[in-house]
Amino acid sequence: MTAPIVIMLLVTAQRLSELLIDRHNRAALLAQGAREYGRGHYPWMVLLHVGWLAGLWDAVLKGSPWNPGPGPVEPVWLAVLLAMQALRLWVQVTLGRRWTTRIIVLDGAPLVRTGPYRFTDHPNYLAVAVEIAALPLAFGMVGYAIVFSILNAAMLAARIRAEDRVLGRRRGPSPAKVKTIRGDRV
Show the CA angle centred on residue 32, arms to residues 26 and 34, nearest 5°. 60
pLDDT of the residue at 72: 81
Judge whether 177 lies within some domain: no
In a domain? residue 183: no
d(CA 83, CA 158): 25
What is the domain extent for residue 75?
Answer: 3-169
pLDDT tens digits, one per residue of 48-69: 999 999 999 998 888 766 665 5
Q: What is the dihedral of CA 117, 79, 129, 73, to 10 degrees?
A: -170
How many domains are contained in the chain? 1
Q: Quick check: 170 and 161 in contact, CB under 8 A?
A: yes
- pTM here is 0.85
- pLDDT tens digits for range 8-23: 999 999 999 999 999 9
Please check whether residue 20 lies inside any domain of the structure: yes
pLDDT tens, position by position, 138-162: 998 999 999 999 999 999 999 999 9
CATH code of the domain containing 8: 1.20.120.1630
The contacts of residue 105 (CB under 8 Å, 6+ apart) are 34, 35, 37, 166, 167, 175
Overall residue count recorded for the chain in this entry: 186
pLDDT for 121: 93
pLDDT for 138 = 95
Three-class SS state of 151: helix
